[in-house]
Amino acid sequence: MQCGWSGARVSSQLVPFTHSSLDALPPEFRRIPPYFYTFNCYAKGRWHGRTILDVFTNEFQAETPEYYRHAITEGLITVNSERVPLDFIIDNNHIILNKVHRHEPPVTNDPLSIVGETPDLLAIDKPASIPVHPCGRYRHNTVQAILGHEHDRWRVYPCHRLDRLTSGLLIFCKNPAMAKQFEQWITQHQVEKQYICRVQGRVEQSVLFCDAPLKICDQRLGLCCVHPEGKASLTRFRVIRRDKDTTVLHCFPKTGRMHQIRVHVQYLGHPIVNDPVYNSELWGPERGRGGALTRSSKIRILARVYRVSGTSVMSLVAGSIHPISPRLRMRMLSELVPAHAGLTPCERSWQIDRQDPAPEAMRIYLHAFRYRGPTFDFQTAMPWWSGEDWPQQLAKRQETY
């Protein structure tokens, strides 16, 4: 695992951004207005002798060939800062610049609060829906950027991972020495991690374990599943409270696999209540209980992952950042068509704008509650959805949207 100290350059690039509209409009969202951003890179060896249109169409499949023709013709894509024709031949010494109109997805406007600090570490309570660092379509709607803009904490870097839809404790290191030390603690299993989740169904046992091995069954999208060839994984669960249809669990993952808690509770037949990926009929009538995953269900699940991740329908038709076969792409697209009704194109970029998601669709009921190590012990408050009155709390939140 990497603790992310190499992110210093990325974080510093965020400093000049001074839009006053970092505040959310409407109030349930933190919204970044679309802005222009220029990527630049030296021509790669494999691009030598190819046309500029061919390179972008085949190497960068997030947009359509029509978009790249438009961008080259209009001077959004240039070579050595000069406009070039569509059939321009790339040489090894060329610098390619790509000016894009970035549309960052909105995130929830829940506050990001600092819950603890030592001379070497900073602990925050991360709201759901916000990615930790710049990635994909997110740049300023990230924890690192918000920490810088709102708390003037530019030189802190994440010590561990936390999924975008997951809320809770996130620890940052303040210097390279602590980054290296924290990585050693994780590797040597010296950090105790505790999570809270609300799962489907009434769990009758007070304590339960899951040691099903986990494998990344689709590397492109980070989709995980139980598999006999997977890595050894172990999670202990303790029931906090039950109601008629759901159970709140205190989770103690002993290993740190991707989506470990989400997949283990699914395997046990009690997926997280509002998990859009692992609590779905797409896994079959048992919703993945026991680890069953067929080829047809995998295709539908991949489409669901694309929908949740905010990938545009244009990129599905033209090709994604990761190569997907045309046959699979068309089947995924057929799954997604109803979800893209009402989309509008951006006049400045030829990109497709998505409608805002419902705020409650931007979180799952999984919360990093406490991390304890050799020199620290941080924890957050319990999440609002873990209490006995959570239906009333949910209704109250929905009234404000």
For the annotated catalytic residues, the residue numbers are 163
Cβ neighbours, 10 Å, residue 19: 11
Residue with tokens 């350059």: 9
| CB burial readout 346-362, b (16+ within 10 A) else e | eeebbbbebeebebeeb
Among 102, 106, 103, CA closest to 24: 106
Task: Copy the structure tokens of residue 111.
Answer: 């506050």
* Cβ count within 10 A of residue 375: 12
Dist CA 311 CA 282 (whole Å):
19
- Nearest 5°: the CA angle 394, 380, 206 is 75
Longest dimension (CA), the chain: 68
Q: How far apart are CA 401 and CA 397, in angstroms?
A: 7
The structure tokens listed for 293 are: 């995953």
Q: First and final CA of the chain: distance in angstroms?
A: 38
What is the DSSP annotation of 131-187?
Answer: -SS-BTTBSSSSHHHHHHHHH---S-EESS---TT-EEEEEEESSHHHHHHHHHHHH
**What is the C-alpha separation between 258 and 256, in angstroms, rounded?**
7
Q: What would you report as the CA-atom Rg of the chain, rounded to the nearest whole angstrom?
A: 22
Measured distance CA(192)–CA(50) in Å, rounded: 52
Residue pointed to by tokens 């995980």: 224
